[in-house]
Amino acid sequence: LYPQGFFCFALAFCGLIPAAYWRYTHSTEVEDSMMDVYDFVYEEVRRNSSSFRRQELTAIHKAFLCCGKHSPFGDTTNVELKTCPPGQVHDAEQDCLQVIQDFLKKHMDFVFSILGITIGFTVYGMILTSFLWFSIHFSSHLDRKGKYILR
């Protein structure tokens, strides 16, 4: 039973280490991809206001509670009027690219922390199961050798 427990912990460890390594070496890849998606949808709505892309952009604005972006390509207020939730004013604090980046950084740091804690628990589990297996396997002298009589 204990070797199977050790094997399960070792298997989990072998899956968690590459995930932690990927998170460490590609720390901005998820953020960049999400911001690229936002840029793509935003520019699609700005160039041609298809209803599908406009609905996507509106959903992104509602989900992240932001409105539009600062664009070096010109005026973007037309897009923001069509896609921002009513009553939301566009200002520097609500730039969607910045809001998305902050949101993902915070959550990816949380995921990295959980990964570290989980790796610690798997190492602890491997040590504990191997200790239990060795202590049971090599301690045959723990059996009772005689009879005890209570008087």
Tens digits of residue pLDDT in 76-122: 566 777 777 766 655 444 688 888 888 888 888 898 899 999 999 99
In a domain, 48, yes or no: yes
Q: What pLDDT, on the 0 to 100 scale, is given for residue 146?
A: 62
Task: Report whether pLDDT(2) > 90.
Answer: no
Quote the pLDDT of residue 121: 94
Token pair of 105, please? 């950084």
Total domain count, the chain: 1
Residue 13 pLDDT? 93
Question: Which of the pair, 136 or 59, is modelled with greater confidence?
Answer: 59
Residue 78 lies inside a defined structural domain of this protein? no
Query: If you count DSSP H runs as helices and E runs as strands, how many of each does the chain have, helices first?
Result: 5, 0
Is 74 inside a domain boundary?
A: no
pLDDT band at 136 (very low <50, low <70, confident <90, very high): confident
Average pLDDT score over residue span 3-29: 88
pTM: 0.66
Q: Is 146 exposed, middle or buried (0-12, 13-18, 19+ CB in 10 A)?
A: exposed
The sign one gets for the Cα dihedral 103, 109, 114, 115 is positive
User: Is the pLDDT assigned to residue 45 strictly greater than 70?
Assistant: yes
pLDDT value for 120:
95
In this prediction, residue 71 carries a pLDDT of 64
Read off the tokens for 55: 């609905």
Does residue 98 lie within any of the structural domains? yes
Structure confidence at residue 24 as a pLDDT band (50, 70, 90): confident
Please check whether residue 107 lies inside any domain of the structure: yes
Q: How many CB atoms lie within 10 A of CB 113?
A: 10
Note down the domain range covering 112. Answer: 3-68+93-149
pLDDT at 61: 85
Within a domain: 132: yes
Whether residue 73 lies inside any domain: the answer is: no
76 inside domain: no
